[in-house]
Structure 1
């Protein structure tokens, strides 16, 4: 049985990495993306593939082109990445 502290830490680290990538790609101050902040991802057609590429590089993964469909907030994105990576 995995140690719950380790699992929680992994989730926190994943969420932190997602927020850092979003902040960099959208040129937002990281403070605006604090945990629990309901930040909407209003991405245009050029930003979507750039964000996917950046996320793939950080997590050493490939996400499908439709990965961001239904993703509206940074929290949604963290959840989608977590499910995709089975973290």
Structure 2
């Protein structure tokens, strides 16, 4: 049986990442258009909450340092894609 997170298409994965970010940071999903410029401003509370929510939405586990070096939604989407392919 294959991993459900790996069965997501690129579009579904991008949509899921944007939806989780919008929900966790309480911003309208429409504000994430041009996401490569949308900077994630994560504090000590929102960082683990986003990581947990992302893992739950994608049925995946990410290491605690997963968000290190992630500054934009585009960075996050790329990091998730790479992680789920591994």
TM over 0.5: yes
Q: Which has the higher contact order (CA 8 A, sep 6+)?
A: 2
* 1:17-32 correspondence to structure 2 within 5 Å: 17-32=16-31
Structure 1 runs (4+) deviating above 4 angstroms are none
Q: Mapping of 1:8-47 within 5 angstroms?
A: 10-47=9-46
* Aligned counterparts of 2:33 and 2:11: Cα–Cα separation in 1: 12
Normalising to structure 2: TM-score of the pair? Answer: 0.86
Mapped to 2, the partners of 1:53 and 1:36 lie a distance apart of 21
**Runs of 5+ unmatched residues, structure 1:** 1-8
Deviates more, 1:34-43 or 1:51-60: 34-43
Between the two proteins, the alignment pairs up a number of residues equal to 79
After TM superposition, list the pairs within 5 Å mapping 1:1-87 onto structure 2.
10-86=9-85
Q: What's the CA shift for 1:16?
A: 0.7
In the superposition, the TM-score normalised over structure 1's length comes to 0.85
Question: Aligned with 1:71: secondary structure?
Answer: coil
**Deviation at 1:57?**
0.3
Larger-Rg structure: 1
Q: CA RMSD in A?
A: 1.6
